[in-house]
Amino acid sequence: MKLERVELLHVAIPLVTPFRTSFGTMTSKDTFLLHVVTDEAEGWSEFAADPEPLYCSEFVAGAELVIRDFLLPRVAALPAPTTAAVAPAMASVKGHELAKAALETALLDAELRAYGMSLATFLGSVHERVPAGVSVGIKNSVPELLDDVERYLAEGYLRIKLKIEPGWDVEPVRAVRERFGDALPLQVDANTAYTLADADHLRRLDDFGLLLIEEPLEENNLHAHARLQQRLRTPVCLDESIHSARDAASAIALDACRVVNVKPARVGGYLEARRIHDVCAAHGVPVWCGGMLETGIGRAPNLALAALPGCTLTGDTSASLRYFAEDITEPFTLHDGHLPVPTSPGIGTTPLTDALARFTTSRRELYAARR
């Protein structure tokens, strides 16, 4: 496989409703797609982070520079940029996992399309469909939250995740439990909003039978999360703190978490995500696949990951309509609370020409092979 061309397409797609978390409010998905052309096939991927470095240190403009000036020259120098060779070639560039994930995924998509193999088959997925959960952002009032939860349950979602922050935690959770009962699979996500000094307050959440509390403290602080877990009955789930299989192994050894949310973009791609899954499965730690408000280009491969055998908890792979009135791919639609795992070669989907044209704000060629 020879690399011929790499194109970046900046897209901006309005969200159906604003999505608020402890680190800000999003009103659109503003990011870029990578389009890779080889001598055998084409591939697509989506950069998962945002225009500003608020959720994580990476951001759209910075990732474009890293891919163009540092990652692509190393990959283009390979005799054959196969997926197995790409990660070692990029390893000398420190960090920038989301940028690396975008490039690796586009190349993996092209390689698998050339072989006629789906990503689900490549990863070892064992399910044809996966249960769908939904993430509910911070609202202006409890009644507004309850209305949203009721609507999502009516649509068929099988698990509810509530975003929380100081001042919006115990009361919203209590209201949801009182309205919808103890049988509702319910979890919360703090996105690093608390400190260890809040442990006694967070312990109040133990009364509500939550599946987990996700990343309650500052990211990468495994020691603090381990101390918090000692004081909570609710399982701590790590998300932002897990960047690699090594991080997952360390967190498990320290009992800093009892559940792991694996986001392929955050850990450098689907190959490392599979390794994290394997580490957790070997230690009996449940895994689930998180989401970053992806378009269909990012949602399709996430479904393949969510279908791995160790992904025993419902993930955030919601239907397209949860976020977008119109997606840039064929929409992913909920059926009996589940989404189908794509079976076509590669990631299993491609952009719709007309939709992509409407939502593309700019496009740039990052690489072209010399003729």
Using alpha carbons, list the distances in angstroms from residue 311 to 176, 271, 350.
25, 15, 25
Is 100 a residue of the active site? no
Closest CA to 303 of 289, 323, 324: 289
299 within 8 A of 330, measured Cβ to Cβ: no
- How far apart, in Å, do the first and last CA atoms of the chain sit? 16
Catalytic: which of 29, 139, 161, 263? 263
Is 94 a residue of the active site? no
Range 220-254 burial, b when 16+ CB lie within 10 A, else e: ebbebbbbbbeebebbbbbbbbbbbbebbbebbee
Task: Enter the tokens of residue 52.
Answer: 């500003």
Catalytic: which of 29, 100, 161, 163? 163
Q: Which residues contact 131 (CB under 8 A, 6 or more apart)?
A: 158, 159, 314, 315, 337, 338
- Looking up tokens 């520079």 gives 65
Catalytic residues: 163, 263
